[in-house]
Amino acid sequence: MNVEEVQTRKRILILEEEVDFALLTRTYFTRKNDEVFIVHTFLEALSRAAELQPDHIYLSSTNGLPYNVASNKLRQAASNAQIHISKDFHRSLDE
C-alpha cells in the first residue's frame, strides 16, 4: 500500500443489527480499501464514533430511537462524519 492509498482510505462505521448484511457491507467497503468497523447497537455506535472519528457512518438501525435523534447524537460524537441512513431497508426486501 503506497502513501496515496493510505491518505485516501476512509474510515467507515456501520451500525447494523443483521450480521450477514453487516458483513456484506464490510466486504464492499474493504474492497474499496476503506477501514471498516461494525457495531450492532446504538450505544456501541456512539462509543465507537467518538473513539474512531469516522468519515462515514452507515445507520440502518437505531434500536428504537427516532432517526433524527440518533443522527444528531452521532453528529455530536463524530462531528465530521457524513451520516447515511438506510431506513426500512430490510423490511422493503421482505415485502
Q: Is 40 exposed, middle or buried (0-12, 13-18, 19+ CB in 10 A)?
A: middle
Give tens-digit pLDDT for 17-44: 889 989 999 999 999 999 999 999 999 9
Give the mean model confidence (pLDDT) for residues 77-92: 78
The residue ranking higher by pLDDT, 78 or 59, is 78
Residue 65 dihedral angles phi and psi, to the nearest 5°: -75, 145
Q: Poorest-confidence range of 9-13, 43-47, 67-71, 78-82?
A: 67-71
Domain locations in the chain as residue ranges = 9-94
Tell me the CATH architecture of domain 9-94. 3-Layer(aba) Sandwich (3.40)
pTM of the model: 0.83
Give the Cα separation of 74 and 25 in Å (integer): 20
